[in-house]
A = this chain, B = another copy of it.
Amino acid sequence: MGATGAVGSVMLRVLSHRADIWGEIRLVASSRSVGRTLTVCGEDVVVQELSDDVFDGVDVALFDVPEDVAATWAPVAVARGAVVVDNSSAFRADPEVPLVAPEVNPAQVRNRPRGIIANPNCATLAMIDALGALHSGWELTELVVATYQAASAVGQAGIERLHDELEAVAGQRALGQQASDLRAALSDRLDDDSPFVAPLALNVVPWVGWPVEEGWTSEEMCVRHEARRILGLPELKVSATCVRVPVVTGHSMAVHATFARPIKVEAARQALVEAPSVVVLDEPDQREFPTPADIVGSDPTFVGRMRQAIDFPNTIEMFICSDNLRKGAALNTVQVAELVARDLAQVR
């Protein structure tokens, strides 16, 4: 579901590069994409229109559609016999819908009374594998996070808008000197119809999601709620500040993580080196650290800039980068779907 979107396109690539445990793969998208032929797992597949019947005989349905579409259609798919893995926020807060990061809480895929499993938010997923690996050794107690989130997390419209803005400002070397410059340059050349609440080219925007309570955004509360649920730590202390940056794809996070037990940076680094889905890029003398430009298009969680906090006991500082379309969306959805498929195969 949503096969032609920014995440859907990556999902087809991810499916095509992993072991093909699937029989038939059906592709569904909105009406304007119906009839297009896309390639997945080496097969040409025609995009179908969304209807009740499309879910008949489906074991696992991967959803990447807007929240309202997911809320309406996930129960339909379940009624037709599918297990739904949904990448929208529609079910993430539902206590009867597990939130699964396969490297951290894979067993939760079986705990799905509604037949729906939610894919966590991309900001949570960017760091959860690294945090999970450290938590299992030292017991995480506190998390202070500031994010650097990419445009593609709002879909193809976000990617296009960032490129539109870049083209509008490129070559204007006087820009960035005065407050009205950038907004004027953009409004001269582009319409106001942006998925972002402020200019994104040559800017950073401390607002991701919608307002929830007491000045917090949905994204910030989501990171807190989801880190707690996935790690199974209902008392975990979390403060997040979520910021959009002019990067196409690749979320980054500055993470200040405090643990119950004494932790040394060398041991923490070793634990991450040994975590299957984490790659450590951390040679400061060689200027080796993760950046979105260097990790985009790849699956792991990349960690660098690991430092022992000087003034805070049992605390590690680190900078984490992860592809928000892969681990943050398509890859995790596919990984969860694979766990479900194995689970179904065992039951039968």
Where the two chains meet, the residues of A that have a C-beta atom closer than 8 Å to any C-beta of B are 142, 144, 146, 148, 150, 152, 159-160, 163, 166-167, 169-171, 173, 175-179, 181-183, 197-199, 201-207, 211, 214-217, 224, 236-239, 241, 243, 245-250, 252, 254, 256, 265, 282, 284-285, 287, 289-298, 304-312, 315, 317, 319
Contact = CB atoms under 8 A, between A and B. Distances in A.
Contacts of A312: 142, 237, 239
B310 A239 contact: yes
A72 B166 CA distance: 42
A295 B198 CA distance: 13
A246 B201 CA distance: 8
27 contacts: A148-B245, A159-B176, A163-B170, A166-B202, A167-B171, A170-B170, A175-B248, A176-B250, A177-B249, A177-B296, A181-B293, A181-B296, A198-B293, A198-B294, A202-B248, A204-B252, A205-B291, A215-B284, A215-B306, A224-B310, A237-B311, A238-B310, A239-B312, A239-B317, A241-B254, A241-B256, A241-B305
Contact of A252 (B206, B211, B309): B206
A202 B246 contact: yes
A266 B125 CA distance: 33
A332 B175 CA distance: 23
A252 B246 CA distance: 14
A173 B179 contact: no
Given A204-B292, A206-B252, A245-B148, A307 B198 contact: no
B289 A206 contact: yes
A172 to B, nearest CB: 8
- In the A-B complex, the 4 residue pairs with the smallest Cβ-Cβ separation, listed nearest first, are A176-B248, A146-B146, A170-B170, A237-B311
Contact of A179 (B205, B207, B247, B293): B293
Contacts of A294: 179, 183, 198
Nearest to A292: B203
